[in-house]
Amino acid sequence: MNLTIIGITVRALLGRRRVLMLLPMPLVLVGLTLIGVSSPVDDADWGPTVFGNLGLSVILPLTALIVGSSVLGLEIDDGTITHLLTKPLPRSEIVLSKLAVAWVVTTVAAGVPLAVAALIAGSGSLAVGLVLAAALGALAYCALFLALSVLTKRPVAVGLVYIMLWENVLVSFVDGARVFSVREHATTLADKIGNTPLLDSNVSLTTSLVMSAVFIVVGTVGATQRLRSFALTGEAN
């Protein structure tokens, strides 16, 4: 970890207009929760839709995508990455510092509204579960999207394909695809801790934790390796 990199990354991230994109989604989540709570419908009928299908399946991954692809990706886009690359720093230090910022920002931006919504729905244990699930999911997603931002020129597009096609379409047709879905891991963790009808999950807790760890390690190591031999594109191409 490097405090200088963390400090500049936080300033760069929160100083950009892109960060405002994080605001509307939590508002929708809290709004829908209020409607759910005040309606006569059973918890099990609206809860999984709001917390699972919206909270953990849309808000968490999209927040992670915006943040995770920005922390290093924007510097690569505008060329300021050379300032970091021309320093005698282990590349792992750069990647870990960037990942730390993305993780904390995503966890706060997705976890806090989820916890607030769970408290409105009257489940303290679900609030705890959702925050932990957001933390786990945020780390796995951010590691993935951070790696994508070093590996491809279009991390947001590739990330969206993963979220939309893999996690939302493929998973509903092919059971095995769940194992490689961060959203399923996060949902499982929140469901096991929360233990309420507001959420349901389909993967075992062990699988979720092991696979999340795989995402985190592969993403971080992949990003570091790629950054080690990061070739700057000059005038020649």
Partner 1 sequence: MTAVELSAVSRWYGNVVAVNDVTLTIGPGLTGLLGPNGAGKTTVLHLMAGLLSPSQGSVLVGGDPAWRNPAMYKTLGLVTERESVPGFLTAWEFVLASAKLHKLASPAEAARRALAIVEMEDAQDRRISTYSKGMRQRTRVAAALVHDPRVLLLDEPFNGMDPRQRLHMMTLLHRMAEEEGRTILFSSHILEEVEQLSGTVQVIVSGRLAASGDYRHIRRLMTTRPHEFTISSSDDRLLATVLMGQESVTGVRVEAGALQVHANDYGTFTRALAKQAKASGVRLTSVLPADESLEKVFSYLVAT
- Which residue ranges make up the site for partner 1 (CB under 8 A)? 2, 4-5, 7-8, 11-12, 15, 78-80, 82-91, 228-232, 234-237
> Residue 12 or 28: which CB sits closer to partner 1?
12
How far is residue 39's CA from residue 234's CA, in Å, rounded to a whole number? Answer: 59
Q: How far is the CB of 18 from partner 1 (least distance, A)?
A: 13
Q: How far is the CB of 155 from partner 1 (least distance, A)?
A: 19
> Residue 15 or 24: which CB sits closer to partner 1?
15
Among residues 106, 102, 107, which one has the least CA distance to residue 5? 102
Structure tokens at 109: 């931006």
> Residue 14 or 210: which CB sits closer to partner 1?
14
Q: How far is the CB of 127 from partner 1 (least distance, A)?
A: 35
> Residue 5 or 67: which CB sits closer to partner 1?
5
> Residue 11 or 153: which CB sits closer to partner 1?
11
Among residues 208, 207, 189, which one has the least CA distance to residue 199? 189
Q: How far is the CB of 228 from partner 1 (least distance, A)?
A: 6
How far is residue 234's CA from residue 155's CA, in Å, rounded to a whole number? Answer: 20
